[in-house]
Amino acid sequence: MFVSAAQIGRLTAAGLFALGTLVLVAGPASAASFRVSPVKLTLLAKRPVGSLIVSSGDGAPVAVRVATYRWTQVDGKDVYTPTDDVIASPPIFTAPAGTKQLVRVGLRHRTPGAAYRVMLQEIPGPTAEKGIRIAMTLNLPLYVVDDPLAKSDVRWTAWRGADGHVVIEGRNQGVAYQQVTRIALAGSATPLSEAMGVVLPASMRHWDIGQHPELKTGSVLRLSVRTADGDNEVTANLSAR
């Protein structure tokens, strides 16, 4: 089974996603509360073990299931595939209200450059309240690296498709991921895109920025790309497809 990242729903530029599952009852909405720290895991291939702290809210206990997915990029889009490469312990637990639960995360396969998603899914319990019960899922990125100082190497291109939309592509030839939070024309205060995206190693990601008739096919675009390292100016040839 494949799950497109478009089905998950983005929450923050840090790579943390949230998904709500509705459990039907009548009346106002309610949700159990829990937080996770850190919101990103980076594991060394030679030391592939990490941990998460799940903090429950003060209102009620929360039951959580941990699911893991291999994260790849196909045709410029994120794809999640269920995997047993990642071991989470405990895989299912109940955290009493106002407490913290330690979750250990380890790898069966130590593949530098591999990426995963760790999803903590609330298990809805019975409720006497009337309303819509919202079961939360927190979706965290997990990266496997050989060298914590490794760098990404993203090359940029652009094209106008048959639908008239301009697509900007980042292709990563490095051995580390690159997180992009904003793309704009150099010197412009108006962004072309503020859609957060990660370009995985040996992969590519696409940003569809719409039609933009002022961008002429055959021109060279000077782009300002915002990453965790700051704003970087790059060029991309705008071709036709």
pTM for the model stands at: 0.83
Which residues, in sequence order, are CB contacts of 168 under 8 Å at separation 6+? 156, 157, 158, 183, 192, 193, 206, 207, 209, 223, 236
For 123-150, what is each residue's pLDDT tens digit? 987 655 565 566 789 999 999 999 989 9
Instruction: Give the pLDDT band (50/70/90) at residue 5.
Output: very low
Query: What is the distance between the alpha carbons of residues 57 and 17, in angstroms, rounded to a whole number?
Result: 19
**Average pLDDT of the residues of the chain:** 86
pLDDT computed for residue 20 by the predictor: 47
For residue 65, is pLDDT > 80?
Answer: yes
Provide the percentage of residues in the chain whose pLDDT is more than 70.
83
How many C-beta atoms surround the C-beta of residue 100 within 10 A? 13
Query: What is the distance between the alpha carbons of residues 17 and 19, in angstroms, rounded to a whole number?
Result: 7
Instruction: Evaluate the CA torsion angle 106, 111, 115, 121 in order and state its sign.
Output: negative
Task: Domain 154-240: give its CATH code.
Answer: 2.60.40
Q: Residue 71 carries which side chain, given as an amino acid letter?
A: W
**Cβ contact 166:212 at 8 Å:** yes
Q: Where are the CATH 2.60.40.10 domain residues in the chain?
A: 3-145
> Which H or E run contains 234?
strand 230-240
The domain 3-145 having CATH identifier 2.60.40.10: the answer here is: yes
Query: What is the distance between the alpha carbons of residues 132 and 135, in angstroms, rounded to a whole number?
Result: 10
Instruction: Give the pLDDT band (50/70/90) at residue 32.
Output: low
